[in-house]
Structures are given as C-alpha cells and as structure tokens.
Amino acid sequence: MNPTHQNSLVRTILQQKILIIFLLPAIILTFIFSYVPMFGLVIAFQDYKILKGFFHSDFIGLANFREFFHTPDFYDALENTIFINLICLVIVFPLPIIFAVMLNELVSAKLKKTIQTITYLPYFISWVVVGGLFYKLLESETGVVNVLLGYMGVENITFFRDPEYFWAIIIFATIWKGIGWNSILYLSAINSIDPHLYEAAEVDGANRFQRMFHITLPGIMGTAAFLFILTAGSIMNGSGGAGGSLAPNFEAFWNFRNALVSSKSDVLDIYVYQQGVQGAHYSYATAIGIFQSIMSLGLLFLTNSMIKKWRGEALF
C-alpha cells in the first residue's frame, strides 16, 4: 500500500470517527454475545469441564454424538419434536392465511382495525402468563372448560395430568397467541395487490369467491411459500422464532409441561436444557444442538428446492 493510499485511509477514518464510534457498541455486543458462542460450539467435540475452560478441556471427537444416538430419551424427545412441528406445519400454518383473507373480506375498515387490535394482543403476553391462563381454564373440576363440559354431560377431564391431551393444548395455545400477529405479513401482501385486478375481475363478472381464489390467494402465495420454507426449516429446534413461524417454542413447552405429561411434552429443546443446564452435561447438550442445526439447515434446503421446483422461485 503506498503512502498516499494510507493517508487517505487515515483521513477517511478520521472523517468518519463519529460513525465508527456509533457502531462500536453494536459491533462489540454482537462479537461477544453472538460470535463467541459460535466458537463455543467446539465444546461439542470436547469433554468440556466448565472449570477447565475451552482451551484446557480434552478433545474426544464424535463421542458426544455417538452417545445421544444411543440414548432412548433422545429418541422420545426427537419424536415429540417432529410430530408436534409437523402437525403445526400442516394444520396451523394455513390458519393465518385464512385469517388474513377473511379479514380482507370485511367491508368495514373500522371493524377490521378493531379485530386486528384485539387479536394481536396475545402476541405481547408472556408464555408464563399464557401458561397460567390455560392451566386455570383447563383445571380439573373447577376450570371453566370442565364446567361447560359438565353442562353438556361430559365427564370431568384432567387435561394437564393426562399426556394424551398435551399436544392439542399446546397447539391450541400457539394458535391463540399467534394467529393474529402471524397474519400481518399476509395482510400487507394483500394490500399490495393491484386494485385494478379486482376491478377488472368484477367487470368480467367474477363473484366474490372467484376474486378471492383467483386474485387474493395467488397474490399472497409468494409470502406463504417464503414463510413455509422458514417454518419447515425450524421443525427440529421448535425455535418457533425463525421468520415468525407459528409453532410452540421452548418457552411455550416449559410453561405448559409438567412431570405427569413429560412423555408427550418433552421436545429436543427441553431435553437440551435439562441435560445441558440442569445436568451440566455441556458437551453432550451442545452436540444435540449441532444435530438440530444441521437437520434444520437440511430441511431448509430441501423445502426450498421443493418449492423452487413447484413455483420456479423460492427463498434462495
């Protein structure tokens, strides 16, 4: 690098010193809390001891991975994770689309706004509170659901003591909490559809249903495909966060589960927490985390290529 170049670089840095200072906190925080943990993934290949640290723990290759592949508890958690998320992908995923399309059919703008305000609210309520509400509503004998069932002559149901109800409960709670909020992207997609299309269709004599099926739905298919890929990509971690997919996450499971229903409620994220944090098997749990990430990435690419074949375009 010649001196003039160096000078101009120094000059640029001096000129932009405020911009650089403005960026420093963000860069430092990102490095410490995002990049350092990424390097921390090496402990999956170690027999990590927290007192020895990253640098002094012994490397043991793939032993941690072999261990969980031979553990029955891991397979139980894997099974719960896959089934709950598949149900969500098939049954829950289309609901915000239906919600948005139906909301769009409402004639009154004021009513539309009121419904949006009400249905977005549960998104802002913590899973602790949602768990508390559902335990109360579904309580044996005294909960309002059992009271209503009693009027209809149905015998008392012990919802939170019987594992067979758990999936239905947590999936319903996920819908309750997220259906409104998850329709936002579809609503903005509908709003960006050219109004001339509707007018032209009306002139051609298309009725309301035909306009809904031939204009509104195709207009949001791109958004739907995009979100479907992200949701399918998060089947393994139940993270429920990626791209705002509508599936229960760790916080949901933790606040809904109890010891009596653990056979149906304990997904991989719960297993990782129990093994890693509660059991201090750091390396073992990290290895499972890596397994989840790799599977997620695989699913992401798989769904992406399937969507691409079908629609001609996809996420990447």
Least separation in angstroms between residue 82's CB and other proteins is 19
Contacts (CB under 8 A) with other proteins, residues 232-261:
250-251, 254-255
Residue from the set 6, 7, 10, 16 that interacts with other proteins by CB under 8 A: 16
Q: Which is nearer to other proteins, 38 or 312 (CB)?
A: 38
Amino acid at 60: I
Asked if 122 contacts 130 with a C-beta cutoff of 8 angstroms, the reply is: yes
Residue where the block lists tokens 């927290």:
50
Asked if 281 contacts 71 with a C-beta cutoff of 8 angstroms, the reply is: no
Q: Please count the residues of the chain.
A: 316
Asked if 259 contacts 134 with a C-beta cutoff of 8 angstroms, the reply is: no
Query: Per rule CB under 8 A, is residue 10 in the interface with other proteins?
Result: no
CA-based max dimension of the chain: 90
Least separation in angstroms between residue 75's CB and other proteins is 20
Distance CA 268, CA 88 (A): 16
Distance CA 237, CA 90 (A): 17
Query: Per rule CB under 8 A, is residue 315 in the interface with other proteins?
Result: no
Query: Per rule CB under 8 A, is residue 35 in the interface with other proteins?
Result: yes
Q: Which is nearer to other proteins, 293 or 305 (CB)?
A: 293
Query: Per rule CB under 8 A, is residue 55 in the interface with other proteins?
Result: no
- The torsion angles phi and psi of 59, rounded to 5 degrees, stand at -80, 135
Query: Per rule CB under 8 A, is residue 22 in the interface with other proteins?
Result: yes
Nearest to 92 by CA among 238, 250, 247: 247
Asked if 130 contacts 255 with a C-beta cutoff of 8 angstroms, the reply is: yes
At 251 the three-state DSSP class reads: helix
Query: Per rule CB under 8 A, is residue 39 in the interface with other proteins?
Result: yes
Among the residue ranges 29-37, 64-72, 76-84, 159-167, the one whose residues contact other proteins (CB under 8 A): 29-37
Q: Which is nearer to other proteins, 116 or 262 (CB)?
A: 116
Among the residue ranges 66-74, 120-128, 160-168, 307-315, the one whose residues contact other proteins (CB under 8 A): 120-128
Query: Per rule CB under 8 A, is residue 128 in the interface with other proteins?
Result: yes
Q: Which is nearer to other proteins, 7 or 16 (CB)?
A: 16
Residues 6 or more apart in contact with residue 307 via CB below 8 angstroms = 225, 228, 229, 314, 315
Contacts (CB under 8 A) with other proteins, residues 195-214:
208
Q: Which is nearer to other proteins, 37 or 163 (CB)?
A: 37
Residue from the set 221, 290, 306, 315 that interacts with other proteins by CB under 8 A: 290
Among the residue ranges 64-72, 86-94, 162-170, 172-180, the one whose residues contact other proteins (CB under 8 A): 172-180
What are the tokens at 110? 């004021």
**Given 3-state DSSP classes, what are the helix, strand and coil percentages for the chain, each rounded to the nearest 5?**
75, 0, 25
Query: Per rule CB under 8 A, is residue 77 in the interface with other proteins?
Result: no
